[in-house]
Structure formats: structure tokens, C-alpha cells
Structure 1
């Protein structure tokens, strides 16, 4: 092999399926290979360190020599023994194809633990390369390599089927995401009193799924699998709905924060009110200059409700300051503040207005 094998080794090693091996081209790691790793080895062939001309000398002053890589035919023609691999670490030679494709233990040491009897290496190599088992493994190697290069392996067929299935689920999730986006945008309830397809009172979300299944082949196939119990993973439950709502909300909030940072300066609008469980909550709205669209405009964006346990001016200000820090917004960039008529909000001495002005005198109150 030429120096390009180093690149192949790097590419193969970076593959997520074979990253377990420190070096898949090292014969020490060829005893328990998965099919994916074998495919990589077959397609790229064995790796040789061509800088090694001779190996370590044994007690008889004999050693491996690179001349063993070449076979001289009876007519004087020379050919490469591409199946022969030398391991510097083990100081042994191996048969590449027999090591990968042998059935059982194999005959001799070349297909198994390696051979290092340098006094008899020439004889052993000649015996091995003419054996029926070696010839069969060579044919298996070359045939598989050819099919891999032409993408005609059984694994390739399975891979295409896998890609087809992945594409199906990708399209299913895309449609589910659009349904969640539609219901959230129009402020519609997702769930009813029933959570089963084609049952009464199962809510708007499952109703949309049933409607799409009338004409959309992707959802139609998805519903067929569910109703025929071919899959128990359907992504139609309340858990995935809540997760997608959260992901959409996070994406929208990120875009709003991006616009605010581009504008740099902004104003805050706060209001407090208890919810149904009597937990005091403070709504946070940010007013900013939007220059990202074609028409320059002033926008106000609601960024969420903040739980409040301390309703004093200092407590409310602490909640606001912490939220701005979480949103990665600088409190020194606040140029306006607006609240309701509560004393703990607009108070000139101890209200949020005063606490913010002490921190940032440029935050004009209205």
C-alpha cells in the first residue's frame, strides 16, 4: 500500500462506528471485528509501514525482511503479496484475508496469532499462499472489496432501507412539529379528555393527525402502523407535545434576544398578578428598536412569567435582575422602565423604579 493508507486510517478511525479501536489496521485488533469494521478494512486493504525494511533480530540473529512482501513466480515475474502484513509491535507476520475470513482456528499461525519463525518463514509463506483455505479467503476478500466499491453489498441494501426509514421518521416529526406550531400560534387547546386516535373528545392535536391521514401519505402510513400495532413509538403523546412547545418557545426567545442585542438599548415593562394557584407571577415585556426587517419598527416582545416569592421592591428587582442576567442582557443598556401603579413597582424610594435607577440612572421611568 502507498502513503495514502495513512489517510484512509485517519478517515476510518474518525468513523463513529470504529472509534472503539485505537488502530483498526493493527493486526492485534483483528480478533473480534464487527461487520462495519471488516468492510472498512476490506475496502482499504491492509496497512504496511514501508519504512520497515527489517524487523528485530531474534536469538539466532534472524529477522523479518521486507523482501517477503514480494513473490517470485517460476517465470521470474514478481508480484506483491498484498495479503501479508508485518506487526512491528508483535514482531510477527499475519495473513490479512485469512485473519478476517477464516472459519474456526485456521491452519498454522499466519491466520491466527501470527508467525515469527524467521528461519522457516519462506517455506511457511509458500505453503500458505498455495493452500485451498487461503485461496478461498483471497477470493472472498477480492469479491467483497469489488462489491463494496460498486455499492452492491447486502449491507448496502440494509443501509438503504435504514435511510428510507430515517427519512420517514424525519418527515413524520416535521409534520408533528407543524401541527404543534399551528395550535400554539392560534392559541388553541391541544388535548381533550381522550388520548386515543379516532376516539371522541381526543382534542385538537389528534384531530389534526386524523385529518392529515385522509390525504397525506406520510401521516397515513404513520397512523396505519399505530393502529396495526406495528410501532409503539408514535410521538403523538402529551410528552412530545410539551417538548416541542418548549423547543419552539426556546427558538422564538433566542430570535427575540438576538434582535434586542442588535438594537443594544431597550426598555422593560413589568406587571405582577397571582395565578390560579395564588403564586405571584411577574410578566416581563421588552420594548426595543427592530432594524432587522425591511421596515424599521418599535416592537414589544413578551418573554415569560417570572415566579415571585418576595413582593417588596427589592425582591421584585432581584427577580428582574436575575432574569436579565439569564437572558444575557446588560442591565446598563436599559433606557426605559414602565410599571403599574403598585407602590412596590413605581415607588420613588423603595420601589423597583428606585432600585433600577440606583443601578442605572439612564433607565427613564414612565
Structure 2
């Protein structure tokens, strides 16, 4: 028995050569056996064209026009070429002689009339056989049972002319041919503009859905911004579930009520959303989660604008203060002070940034919190030149206070004690004079006596109306702010006749306890010491009241405050004379119900003033008026001396104060070294200062303020001078801005809203404090950011908008994004530890919980990581 050929073990694993190419190349041999009248020249031309069918089209192939044969291995380069080949395939001319195949009995060849019967049939001169143009151009490469490689009419020419008609009918009846015919018809309609392809239809539908979603969300976002700007509470006790057009039985909160009002007022997109929320939509996008995200995005947008202005200004100062909210959580308010150029004019701004919940209120913890948050803002810490706090030991302590801990790390950050608190301490210590202290105690008792009872307060108003008083109510004395007592003292002094009349009426008509209290209070008010002290207190407070108001302004600098303080001291010194007190004593006599008398004088002076005097006027001038004014002046000198020292040298840069004095120059050189640095900075700065001094010497009208000097300083010619002037204007003055934010905190976080989260609180506070910036918020941009956030399965952007969103996001994060033609982008959430992420066959990684970006490219779906982690080259984009 003959043994078969043995095959080695490796032979079982050798990859067999695909017959496709060999079969195509074997056509040349078939053509040799064909008999035909073609000339030698034609045979050579055909042979050259058939040398390599899978190589790039040759020059001979190009001369054959849209010969379908050249697209068997090389598909058309573009859709336009494909359409031309489909509609205008190469047709043999009338003079063309088809090759003849000799079967022994007959000589057969391709018949021209076959193309009339079968519209898909074409003859290829390159492959010298029949092909199906729709299957070659738009069909599949596999078909039939087992997805076999397609042969005749598709990947190789048909040349068996003996069974031509039978084979044509069989091919026309195959599923893959019918599929190709349908594809060809659709392709032609699409290319001729009669219809859209599936992808474009999906994109159009996606754009439509995205625009509808954006219209719905726009109304929701704008309503949230409105509530934030107006500090209106959003949520109610029953604020979940459907939102109907009609009013519910229970109060579901302002936010949902405003949405209903807006829907009933003509917002058709929102109205349709509310009416069809359970039919066509899975979500309403009105939950507290959506609210928090929108509020956070709005707050972040406002905070970004503020920080951009701070970075543009360069130098900045922090203002911080701490308070306790309604839920007894410690909140640290952080604000920044800087110089901003607006419409060509320099202005000082103090902008609130955020509330920071602090659990540890020690100096070290507070300092660490402040530094970490400033670093998170990406601010240049070398430009941090000041820190402003109140007088609390934990903040302003010289040994281990926050100011000291921060100064150790950032020595340029000069500490300035809040001038409003300093003035408050001045008046608090000055009012320790016994007669002044007793006067304030009596005022407080009388005010509380009336405010504690509506009946008594009503009687006070009734009597005020009867005697035509300009005021009918008393104002409470502020327990902590002495500077705010001026308004209360002024109102009390104006209403003394009304108060006296009301207390007399209560002694006759009220109960015994009330009558007794009224009697004692009236007796205290009729006392000469009280009347004179009230007049003096009213006079001195009138001078400090305007100073206090100036200290709380934002657009004021330390040089202004020191000048104002000196002016007040000079005024008080001028008032400290006999003639001025004579006027005050006359006012006291008019206010008193009797004569002003001198109190009993003891032989030995211990607890009260016993300076001998011939008259009551001299007595009160010596024992009350002069001592009180002297105390105020002395306190102003002592407590504002550190502030004057802070600006002592740098204020000499002001055009009105420039000098050639060597000591001033030496001091300025040290300041330049401290804030500007550099080995030769001091020498350069002194030369610059001399030019600055000579520049203003001959100018008659010089800038009066620091801001005017900044605007008149050429930063190209006086770069160091301008920087120091900006530093002078940036130095902190008061902590009024952080304390104003406490008022916003009380409005936002009430006893009904005491569970508010920190992010929501800060976002609402930013919208309420910065109402101008909140008004400028673009709801479209907020929706874009909501789409980028990728936390919801909601279509928010169409094709072009998706590209813009991603390009802007990638650019902001220093990433690259190449977006040519766009079709499909998917946003959403996925939690699956088994998922691996890859792009262009490159493994990116996997995660237990990850926000993903799905990119459909080259007819496949790849899942990429969060957009911050990888730069994508995207070919197909849309949002889902």
C-alpha cells in the first residue's frame, strides 16, 4: 500500500496561504487560453494591467475610467468617487471585442445585452470578467452559511460564460446581493441630498433632544440663580416628586413655586416638561442634587471671576473673621482685598470668597486652613502682602496668634488690626469715666424698659404723636459696637421730652411695679450729671460717627484713615475750650427739667471727681468734659500708632509727600527690599524715586489719594513706584467685608435651613454677595459645565456644541483634543470594577467607580477615562 506524503508537526501550525490572491492572479493563465481577435498590442496592455490586481491602480487602469475591477482590492477614496463608479461604471465601447473562451465545443464570451437585463452587472477590462458593481462598492466581503469569503462577482471576476444566466439569477437572489442593492439605493439618495444617513439622522435627533433638554434646564438654572441672588430659600418641607402646573395642597418650596409660575407665564418648554415628565422623561432635573450641582457651578463661576481679577491685580490681602452659624458650626469668612482697574480707573475691591467650616479654632489650625485655601486658589503667595483681623487673641496674638504663624511663613504679609475695632476700643475705654459710664447705663435701662413691653412702647408712640415729635421709637444700644451707639444716643437725646412725659404718665396709670420703675428712671434722667453727660456724649460721638463710617468703606486706604484720625484729634483739641463747653452747657440747661446743680463734694477724693469749682458749668467742664475728650485723644494716639508706623515710610511715595530727605530715602530703600527684593533693587529704586520726586515738584495740582497716584504713575517709567503704591492701597483697613458676609449667612442659614451643606452655603452666599456677577452668569455656560461634570445621563449638547465644550475644557486643563468631523459622544456614569478602559488599542486602566466618556470611532465603541485624565483624538461626536 502506497504511503501518503508525511507532514511534519510544524506543518499543522503553518498558516495556509489565502487562495484569494492566487485565484485572482490565475486569471492571467485563463486569459492565455482564451481565443480572440485581439491584437498583440491589446494583449500586452491587458497583461500589464493584470500583473498585480491588489497594488495601487496603474496608469493603464486610470485610462479605463471607473472600471469596477480596480475597486475590488482598493475601495474608492471618497464618497464622490464611489457614487460616480456606481452610476457611471466603465462600459465597453461598441468596437470593443470581448475575450473568447474556447470550451471545446463552443467559443463563448461576455454578451453586451446582459447588462440591459441585469442592471448591476458590469464588465471589467482590468479583470477581464463580469462583476457586480453594487457588491464590490457597497457589499460585504463575507456571506452565505458560515460567513464564507465571497468569490465570483465580488472578490473575483465571473468568467464561466456557459452557466452565465443561471449564475446571474443565483447571484441576484442571494441575501448579501440584496443587502448591497439596498445599501446602494440608500447611498445614492443620501449623496443626492434626498435623505440623510442613519448617523446624520441620529445626530439631528440628538440635536433636537439636546436643545429641548437645554431649554428645560435653562429655566431651572435661571430660577436657581434668581433665588441665589435674592437669598430666597429654595426648598420646602415637601419638595420631591412631580411638579404640577396647579398649586399643590402643601407648600413645596419657593423653587418649585417659581417654576410653576414661570410655566404658567409663557415658558412653553418648561410647561411641556412639567406636563410630560412621567411620559417622555426619566427625570425632572429639579431635585436637591441638581440644585446643589447648579449652585456649586454658579458659585465656582463667580469665584473664578474674582480670582482672575485678583491674579490680574498681582498683590492681594486677606481679610478673615470667624462666627458661629445657627447650627452652632464655626464658619470662617475669607475675603480678598486688591486693586482693580475698571474703565481706566483704579478702585479697591474687597470680595468675599467662601465660608470655611472649621472644627478646630486654635491659631495653628486657622492659619493652616487659610494658607491651604489660598494655595488651592493657585494664587502667587509671594504677592500676599497683608492680613487683616479683629483684635481676638487667637487671630491677632503677637506670640502664637494666626498673624504670627502666617508671618513666619510669609513675612511680606503685614498684619493690620481692623481700624473699626480699634476705634471701638478707643470709645469703650474712654467711656469708663464714671459720669459717662453711668449715663450710658441709664440710657440702656430706659430703652429696655420701653422695648420690653408693647403697651409701654405703644404709649410712647402715642405721646410722641401728641407733642409732634419727629421720632416715636427708641433704638437699642449695640452691646459690642460702641461706634454704633451714636445713633441710639442721638435718638434718645431728641426724645428726652417724650420719654419724660411717658414716664410720668406710667407712674399714675400703671401697676405698682411699673410705676416704681418709671419713677426711678425719671429721677435718674432728671439728674444734672446725666443731662450734662448726655450732651457731652452726643457731641463727641458726632465726631467719631463719620470716622467710623469712613473706616467701613471699601475704597479707602490706610493713609486716608490715618489722615481722618488726625483730623478728628485736631477737631477734638479745638473743641476742648471754655467757649465750646458753654454752648453745650446751655443745651443741657434747656434739656433739663430744672436747674443744673453741682453734686455733693466730699472732703477726700476717692471714687468720684471732687475738683472744686465756683459754678456748675466750671465743675462739669473740669470733671467731665475735659477728661472725656483727653481720654479719647490719648486712646486715638496710642491705638492708631501701629497703623501710622505701617505706612510711615511707604506713604512718602505720594506726590504731595515726596522728599529728598536722606532718612526718608533710607526707609524707602528698606521697604523696596522687603516687598520687591533683588540685589540691586534698592539702588535702582532710589534713582527711580528721585525722578519721581522731581517729576511732581513742578506740578501744581498733585494727586491727593493713593488711587489717583496709581492712575498717574507710568508703570513703564516708574515700575517699582507703581508696585509700591498698589501695595499701599492693598494693605488691609478693616474687616467690615467679612462681617457683612455674616449678615448674608444669617439670611441664608436660618433655623428652618440649619442643615445646609457647606458647598451649597458658599454657592448661595457668593450669588447673594456678588449680585452683579450672579446677574451676568450665562445659563448656557452653566449647562455646559453641568454636561462636562458627567454626573447625569442627560443629553445636553448637540454636535457642534459638544465639540466647543470639550475643546474649551481640554484647553483649560492643558490637554489636547483633535475633533475633525463629529458624530457621537456619550456622557454618563458607570460603576464596574471589571471594565478596562482603552483608546486606540492602548490600555488606559480600570477603576471601581469612574465617570466615563464614550467615543464612537471607526464603527466601534471605546470607553475612555474621565476627560481630565487623557487627551482624546475624536472622530465621531455627539452627547448622550
Give the TM-score range, shorter chain: 0.5 to 0.7
1:81 equivalent in alignment to 2:121: no
Alignment of 1:1-366 (within 5 A): 65-66=52-53, 80-81=67-68, 84-86=71-73, 97-98=134-135, 105-106=143-144, 112-115=148-151, 121-123=156-158, 131-133=171-173, 136-137=178-179, 139-149=181-191, 150=193, 152-153=195-196, 155=198, 156-157=200-201, 159-195=203-239, 196-197=242-243, 198-199=247-248, 200-214=250-264, 215-226=266-277, 229-291=279-341, 295-366=345-416
Q: Determine if contact 2:134/2:181 at 8 Å carries over to the other structure.
A: no
Determine helix, strand or coil for the equivalent of 1:213.
helix
- C-alpha spacing 1:348/1:79, structure 2 compared with 1 (3 Å): closer
Per-residue CA deviation, residues 44-90 of structure 1 (Å, 9 max, x unaligned), is: xxxxxxxxxxx9668x98898329999xxxxxx87511695338xxx
Q: Determine if contact 1:69/1:82 at 8 Å carries over to the other structure.
A: no
Distance in 2 between residues matched to 1:158 and 1:114, nearest whole Å? 32
TM-fit CA distance, 1:320: 1.0
RMSD over aligned CA atoms reads: 3.9
Structure having the higher Rg: 2
TM-fit CA distance, 1:275: 3.3
Determine helix, strand or coil for the equivalent of 1:291.
strand
TM-fit CA distance, 1:125: 9.0
Unaligned runs of 5+ in 2: 1-19, 29-50, 58-63, 75-130, 417-880
Map of 1:10 onto structure 2: none
Per-residue CA deviation, residues 320-352 of structure 1 (Å, 9 max, x unaligned), is: 111111111133211221111111100112111
Map of 1:90 onto structure 2: none
- C-alpha spacing 1:129/1:337, structure 2 compared with 1 (3 Å): farther
Per-residue CA deviation, residues 156-185 of structure 1 (Å, 9 max, x unaligned), is: 555433322221111111121111111001
| Larger helix percent | 2
TM-fit CA distance, 1:308: 2.4
Q: TM-score, normalised by structure 1?
A: 0.68
Q: Determine if contact 1:285/1:301 at 8 Å carries over to the other structure.
A: yes
Distance in 2 between residues matched to 1:125 and 1:354, nearest whole Å? 99
- C-alpha spacing 1:67/1:352, structure 2 compared with 1 (3 Å): closer
- C-alpha spacing 1:332/1:287, structure 2 compared with 1 (3 Å): same
Q: TM-score, normalised by structure 2?
A: 0.30
Distance in 2 between residues matched to 1:210 and 1:338, nearest whole Å? 46
Q: Determine if contact 2:316/2:386 at 8 Å carries over to the other structure.
A: yes
- C-alpha spacing 1:282/1:159, structure 2 compared with 1 (3 Å): closer
Distance in 1 between residues matched to 2:132 and 2:358, nearest whole Å? 73
Unaligned runs of 5+ in 1: 1-54, 71-76, 88-93
TM-fit CA distance, 1:113: 2.1
- C-alpha spacing 1:315/1:221, structure 2 compared with 1 (3 Å): same
Q: Determine if contact 1:266/1:335 at 8 Å carries over to the other structure.
A: yes
Determine helix, strand or coil for the equivalent of 2:73.
strand
Per-residue CA deviation, residues 203-231 of structure 1 (Å, 9 max, x unaligned), is: 111111111111111112111212x6442
